């Protein structure tokens, strides 16, 4: 079983029978979106829920889409219609039950916290994501370039966090986004991730 399939299975298990239809649709959307991507050049994080939470999913980073990085995100187990801060954190360490082990926001350029399009921002500031009426996020957006496998903004080995609350995009140092409800470690993608 591939890592992506594992995380889908995990997500399905957590979402339960009532959401099975929607989660399956999300799986199809994921496969379709990744079909023509060379996953060995991409970065992937399998997001697992922290203690007491149900959010789980997968994020795929695809470098250099016209000089930017595309972020594909699938999440289940969220409160319907809720908005959540979404960031890359310094440490690829989800070992703490509340994921505080992931540290603060990934900030290799020494900037203040902000939104995903602000010139002066943490490289890891990915803004907010919003769940649909079934508590599922299926989204793709691009951010200023994040490097994969080399360079100052290399994201391999960093953490990805989904927060309980929305990021206000201005409070320092982390947007007042509350507890960490899901965490994953960014790794190199494999061909199996897209199948």
Rule CB under 5 A: which residues touch Zn ion? 105, 113, 122, 125
Residue in 23, 47, 59, 161 binding Cu ion, rule: CB under 5 A: 161
* Binding flag, residue 158, Cu ion (CB under 5 A): no
Q: What are phi and psi of 31, to 5 degrees?
A: -60, -40
Residue of minimal Cβ distance to Cu ion? 87
Which of the listed partners (Cu ion, Zn ion, none) does 161 bind, with a CB threshold of 5 to 8 Å by partner kind?
Cu ion
Residue 167 interacts with, from Zn ion, Cu ion, none (CB under 5-8 Å by kind): none
Q: Between vectors from CA 176 to CA 50 and to CA 188, what angle results, nearest 5°?
A: 50
- Establish if 87 lies at the interface with Cu ion (CB under 5 A): yes
Pairwise CA distance, residues 4 & 30, whole Å: 10
Is residue 113 a contact residue for Cu ion (CB under 5 A)? no
100: which 2 tokens?
Answer: 């505080």
Q: Does 123 contact Cu ion by CB under 5 A?
A: no
Partner in contact with 72, chosen from Zn ion, Cu ion, none, beta carbon below 5 to 8 Å by kind: none
- The set of residues, in sequence order, having a beta carbon less than 8 Å from that of 151 and lying 6+ positions away, is none
H-run or E-run covering 139: strand 137-144
Closer residue to Zn ion in complex, CB, 22/101: 101
For residues 125 and 193, which CB has a smaller minimum distance to Zn ion in the complex? Answer: 125
Q: If we measure between CA atoms, which residue out of 29, 20, 8 comes closest to residue 138?
A: 29
Nearer to Zn ion, 72 or 113 (CB): 113
Q: Rounded to 10 degrees, what is the CA torsion of 4, 149, 92, 24?
A: -20
**Residues lying near Cu ion in the complex (CB under 5 A):** 87, 161
């Amino acid at each position: 079983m591939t890592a992506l399939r594992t995380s889908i299975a995990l997500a399905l298990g957590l979402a339960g029978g009532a959401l099975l239809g929607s989660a399956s649709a999300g799986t199809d959307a994921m496969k379709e979106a990744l079909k023509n991507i060379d996953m060995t050049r991409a970065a992937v994080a399998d997001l697992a829920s922290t203690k007491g939470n149900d959010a789980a999913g997968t994020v795929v980073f695809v470098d250099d889409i016209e000089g930017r990085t595309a972020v594909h995100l699938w999440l289940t187990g969220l409160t319907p219609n809720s908005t959540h801060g979404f960031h890359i954190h310094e440490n690829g360490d989800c070992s703490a039950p509340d994921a505080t082990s992931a540290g603060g926001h990934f900030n290799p350029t020494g900037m203040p916290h902000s939104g995903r399009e602000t010139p002066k921002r943490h490289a890891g500031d990915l803004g907010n994501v919003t769940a649909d009426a079934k508590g599922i996020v299926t989204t793709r957006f691009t951010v200023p370039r994040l490097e994969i496998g080399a360079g100052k903004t290399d994201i391999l080995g960093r953490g990805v966090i989904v927060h309980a609350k929305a990021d206000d995009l201005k409070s320092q140092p982390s947007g007042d986004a509350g507890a960490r409800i899901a965490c994953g470690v960014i790794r190199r993608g494999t061909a199996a991730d897209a199948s």
